[in-house]
Amino acid sequence: MLHDSGSWHWEFNEKVAAIRDRILGIAGLRRTDGWEAIPLQGSGTFGVEAVFQTILPPQGKVAVMSNGAYGERIVLMLQHAKIDHVVLRTLEDTPNDPDALEVLLAKDPMITHVAAIHCETTTGILNPIAALGAMSRRFGKTYIVDAMSSFAAYPIDFEACAIDYLISSANKCIEGVPGFSFVICRRANLLATEGWARSLSLDLLGQLKEFEKNGQFRYTPPTHSVLAFEQALHELDMEGGVLGRAARYKRNHEVLLDGMKALGFRSYLPEAVQSYIITSFIFPADPKFTFQEFYRQVSEKGYLLYPGKISQADTFRIGNIGRLFESDMRSVVSAIGEAIGEMGVRI
Ligand SMILES: *Cc1c(COP(=O)(O)O)cnc(C)c1O
247-299 pLDDT per residue, tens: 999 999 999 999 999 999 999 999 999 999 999 999 999 999 999 999 999 99
**DSSP letters of 100-138?**
HHHHHHHH-TT--EEEEESEETTTTEEP-HHHHHHHHHH
Q: What is the pLDDT of residue 309?
A: 72
Please indicate, yes or no, whether residues 212 and 274 belong to a single structural domain of this protein.
no
> What percent of the chain has pLDDT above 90?
97
Residue 111 is assigned to a structural domain of this protein: yes
Neighbours of 247 (CB within 10 A): 14
Average the pLDDT over each of 12-16, 302-306, 321-325 and give the range with the smallest value.
Answer: 302-306
The CATH number assigned to the domain holding 145 equals 3.40.640.10
Ligand 1 mean position to 295 CA, how many Å? Answer: 22
CA–centroid distance, residue 7 to ligand 1 (Å): 26
Spatial strand order in the sheet of 35-41:
35-41, 180-186, 165-169, 142-146, 113-117, 61-66, 84-89
Residue 261 domain flag: yes
Task: Give, for 280, the enclosing helix (H) or strand (E).
Answer: strand 278-282
Q: Please tell me whether residues 269 and 233 are part of one structural domain.
A: no
Cα–Cα distances (Å) from 141 to 56, 129, 164, 304, in that order, read 12, 14, 9, 41
Q: Where among 238, 267, 302 does a domain terminate?
A: 238
Nearest one of 217, 52, 229, 55 to 146, comparing CA atoms: 52
Q: Which helix (H) or strand (E) holds 218?
A: none
Residue 306 has pLDDT above 80, yes or no: yes
- Say what percent of the chain tops pLDDT 70: 100
- pLDDT above 90: residue 308: no
Asked if 80 and 134 touch (Cβ cutoff 8 Å), the reply is no
Q: Which atom of ligand 1 is nearest to the CA of 149?
A: 15
Residue 312's pLDDT is: 75
pLDDT in tens, 61-91: 999 999 999 999 999 999 999 999 999 999 9
Residue 127 has pLDDT above 80, yes or no: yes
pLDDT at 6: 93
Q: Please calculate the CA angle 159-165-168 and round it to the nearest 5 degrees.
A: 105
Count of residues making up the chain: 347
Give the C-alpha separation, 86 to 59, whole Å. 14
Measured in Å, residue 45 CA sits from the centre of ligand 1 at 6
For residue 306, the CA-to-ligand 1 centroid distance in Å is 14
> Within a domain: residue 245?
yes
How open is the CA angle 309-181-151, to the nearest 5 degrees? 70
181 and 196 both lie in a single domain: yes
The reply to whether 45 and 178 lie within a common domain is: yes
Structural domain total, the chain? 2
Same domain, 54 and 26: yes
CATH of the domain at 326: 3.90.1150.10
Q: Is 28 contained in some domain?
A: yes
Q: Pocket residues for ligand 1 (CB within 6 Å)?
A: 43-45, 70, 117, 121, 146, 148-149, 169
Domain containing 295 equals: 241-343
DSSP 286-341: -TT--HHHHHHHHHHTT-PPEEP--SSS-EEEEE--SS--HHHHHHHHHHHHHHHH
User: Last residue of some domain: 218, 238, 258?
Assistant: 238
Residues 217 and 79 in one domain: yes
Mutate which of 148, 165, 172, 173 to test ligand 1's pocket (most atoms within 8 Å of Cβ)? 148
Check whether residue 83 and residue 59 sit in a common domain. Answer: yes
Please list, in sequence order, all residues whose beta carbon lies within 8 angstroms of the beta carbon of residue 278, skipping any fewer than 6 positions away.
119, 121, 123, 124, 149, 306, 317, 318, 319, 320, 321
Residue 2 lies in a domain: no
- Domain shared by 228 and 276, yes or no: no
Same domain, 207 and 290: no
Query: Which helix (H) or strand (E) covers residue 203, if one does?
Result: none
Residue 43 near residue 169 (C-beta atoms within 8 A): yes
CB 190 within 8 A of CB 36: yes
For the stretch 193-224, pLDDT in tens is 999 999 999 999 999 999 999 999 999 999 99
CA of 134 to the centre of ligand 1 (A): 24
Whether residues 103 and 159 share a domain: the answer is yes
User: Which of 182, 217, 238 is at the close of a domain?
Assistant: 238
Residue 169 CA: nearest ligand 1 atom is 7
Q: In terms of C-beta distances under 8 Å and separation of at least 24 residues, what long-range contacts does 103-108 make, across chains too?
A: 104/63, 105/63, 105/135, 105/136, 105/139, 105/141, 106/139, 108/61, 108/63
Identify the helix (H) or strand (E) that includes residue 162: none
In a shared domain, residues 21 and 143: yes
Asked if residue 4 belongs to a domain, the reply is no
CA of 55 to the centre of ligand 1 (A): 20
Q: Confidence band (pLDDT; 50, 70, 90) for 26? A: very high
Amino acid (one-letter) located at 157: D
State which amino acid sits at residue 92: E
Closest residue (by CA) to atom 12 of ligand 1? Answer: 148
Same domain, 256 and 288: yes
Q: Is the pLDDT of residue 246 over 90?
A: yes
Confidence grade of residue 43 (pLDDT, cut at 50, 70, 90)? very high
In a domain, 256, yes or no: yes
Q: How far, in Å, from the CA of 194 to the mean position of ligand 1?
A: 27
Q: Which of 49, 76, 121, 154 to mutate to test the pocket of ligand 1 (most atoms within 8 A of CB)?
A: 121
Whether 3 maps to a domain, the answer reads no
